[in-house]
Structure 1
Amino acid sequence: MKNLFSRTLFAAATLALCAGAHAEEKFTYMTNWYAQAEHGGFYQAVATGIYKKYGLDVTIKMGGPQVNIYQLMAAGQTDCVMGSSDMQAVITRAGGLPVTTVAAVFQKDPQVLISHDDVAGFEQMKDKTILIAPTAQRGYWLWLKQKYGFTDAQTRPYTFNIQPFVADKNAVQQGYLTSEPFAIQKAGVKAKAHLFADQGWTSYATTITCMDTTVKQRKAAVASFVKATMEGWKSYLADPAPANALIKKDNPNMTDEQLAYSVQKLKEMGIVSSGEAAKAGLGTMDDKRVAANFKFLLDNKLIEPGKVSTADAYDFSFARDAKVLP
């Protein structure tokens, strides 16, 4: 009887140890908008169990137009967030929030200007009305003015509604390569999307940005999250079906047609897998390019000298160590 009791106790203890060894660590990531194909790799890593393979129990929370994701991260409601650009994260850090960018999924920023189909390029937009959001005034609009001679006088507010563009043949509007051009196409209007990244705009997009304390105190979890996420993106671009099911569950307004269009554009334009990522792995960032972005911020007085350095704002090691090649 005593031996039976001992064996039972030993078996129970062994099971408990095994359960503890295999328990996934909880990790939360907040996106910058409603669920869409542009978030596909993150959802894919959930849907296919890639995060669990790396010992993580990941929850993806949706952002939105009125959601301040950095504020929520500072309040401890998410571990890391999806920055819309690496420059935005540097500005946030310069503003006093200690955040570090550890990876950039989009090697090309999908930001575009959309014109009617009679406009061949940016050079032909000087006499056009350009619809941009107020936030662009302290970002890519500065670059466009310097490169193409645009003026503030030709701008009008963009309200995330395509109808003003549709109604005005002289209008140009901002957009995302994978989104607004599809909506305009569905409205029956012939238009062209002009990608900033192919004309020298060096900003990275769709970043993984975390509080400094998270990077330092949960280094192993952050490393696992970065590697699993990049595997998720590689998987998503090969077969997006698993992630798309979760995306539609989180965002019922998302359609199969929109998802298919977005994935096609991500692949066609090399948004995830081009440039340095092709050699060093998905999510990687290049020192020289980051330095150029940093200089742009300084030159345009978007950050003050001495407030932040690239060494503070970035940690390249996570994506480089992950080495997930396309």
Structure 2
Amino acid sequence: MNPAFLPRALTAGLFAVVAALVPAGAQTLDKVSFGTNWVAEAEHGGFFQAVADGTYRKYGLDVTITPGGPNDNNRMLLIAGKLDFFMSANSLQSFDAVANEVPLVAIAAMFQKDPQVLLFHPESKVTKLEDLKPLTLLVSKEGMTSYFQWLKSEYGFSESKVKPYTFNPQPFIANKQSAMQGYVTSEPFAVQKAAGFKPGVILLADHGFNTYSTLIETRRELIDKKPDLVQRFVDASIIGWYNYLYGDNAPANAMIKKLNPEMTDELLAYSVSKMKEYGIVDSGDSLRNGIGAMTDARMASFFDKMVRAGVVRSNIDYQKAYTLRFVNKAVGLDLRPKN
């Protein structure tokens, strides 16, 4: 979720550490720590599901999830060796690690599509991405250095139409000739609640912005020393995502709400429904290779687009940013509904 619509009154419990219960019996579990990049929400649901329903335990793992937040940097804890795995936002972070010689590697992509959207008013009669060009565009600082550069290079968008997005929807709500960035799983819901109308959305992933999202990252050192542990964590996380999307996700949602008391059942249900509707988690290559799928061709395509957009340097060895060693094994395909 974009930080826009999460109340800032975060309780201490929000940043509590979540630990899997050690099962009865003599089984020895490998302790694993995993950090997310934001507070607990449906967009992290598969990981919480794997804790809450015992999937990680079945794979011999005692997993602790440390939620992120506005004042936390779990990625730095991964780099420092304080966490074993981290949930990164998109492939650009992986390319950046290579550019800065940080030994992190993406090992699975839980979202086949980035949830980034541009919201617009129904009155603006937008039917395709190019129709947004005449509108005032509310874009964050981070958006300006990433997806907006792609909009410029691929679609000819102009920075002259951009105004800063401050994670406040009111300027968008007040101006019918504007468009606002957001995540398909959250901001449309928040705007509808606040303003009483259903905004239209353009999902950038459906128009060529083909980054992976919600990737699992780890240190190269852990891959080299404990490949079996890495594989078990990836496989169990994949199973967690299938169960969260298609099974009984009440255990994960209860955990999310305990960590994030501002989260509601209504928003959780909305987010899950949009992840399914837009194929955020399970579409494209994952239909054949399983959730978490990645391909060399997809990585090369996105890298080339970001080079053309001036976002990344052409001379970095982007293939060091990821490995296909732990994915594309069709894990969990039997858990997808047949109809």
1:114 to 114, 119, 122: 119
Q: Matches of 2:145 and 2:84 in 1, distance apart?
A: 27
Give 5+ residue unaligned stretches, structure 2.
1-24
How many angstroms does 1:147 deviate by? 2.8
Counterpart contact for 1:40–1:233, Cα < 8 Å: yes
TM-score (normalised: structure 2): 0.87
Is 1:189 the equivalent of 2:197?
yes
How many angstroms does 1:322 deviate by? 5.9
Structure 1 segment 4-83 matched on structure 2, within 5 A: 19=26, 22-83=27-88
Q: Matches of 2:156 and 2:88 in 1, distance apart?
A: 28
Q: Matches of 2:309 and 2:274 in 1, distance apart?
A: 31
Q: Secondary structure at the match of 1:303?
A: coil
1:212 to 205, 220, 233: 220
How many angstroms does 1:296 deviate by? 2.2
Counterpart contact for 2:94–2:322, Cα < 8 Å: no
Is 1:145 the equivalent of 2:157?
no
Larger Rg: 1
Q: Matches of 1:313 and 1:219 in 2, distance apart?
A: 17
1:85 to 80, 85, 90: 90
2:211 to 203, 208, 232: 203
How many angstroms does 1:148 deviate by? 2.5
How many angstroms does 1:189 deviate by? 2.7
Count of matched residue positions in the alignment of Structure 1 and Structure 2: 306
Q: Matches of 1:41 and 1:267 in 2, distance apart?
A: 13
In structure 2, the residue matched to 1:267 is 276
| RMSD over equivalenced CA pairs, Å | 1.5
How many angstroms does 1:224 deviate by? 0.4
In structure 2, the residue matched to 1:293 is 302
Q: Matches of 2:314 and 2:148 in 1, distance apart?
A: 21
Q: Matches of 1:291 and 1:115 in 2, distance apart?
A: 31
1:240 to 224, 234, 249: 249
Give 5+ residue unaligned stretches, structure 1.
1-17
Q: Matches of 1:284 and 1:30 in 2, distance apart?
A: 21
Give the stretch that moved more between structures: 190-199 or 51-60.
Answer: 190-199
How many angstroms does 1:198 deviate by? 1.2
How many angstroms does 1:131 deviate by? 0.8
Q: Secondary structure at the match of 1:172?
A: strand
Counterpart contact for 2:209–2:302, Cα < 8 Å: no
In structure 1, the residue matched to 2:11 is none
Counterpart contact for 2:239–2:331, Cα < 8 Å: no
Name the % identity: 45
Q: Identify, as 1 or 2, the structure richer in helix.
A: 1
Q: Matches of 2:98 and 2:332 in 1, distance apart?
A: 28
In structure 2, the residue matched to 1:134 is 141
In structure 2, the residue matched to 1:307 is 316
Q: Matches of 1:214 and 1:190 in 2, distance apart?
A: 46
How many angstroms does 1:292 deviate by? 0.7
* Amino acid in structure 1 at the alignment position of 2:304: K
In structure 2, the residue matched to 1:154 is 161
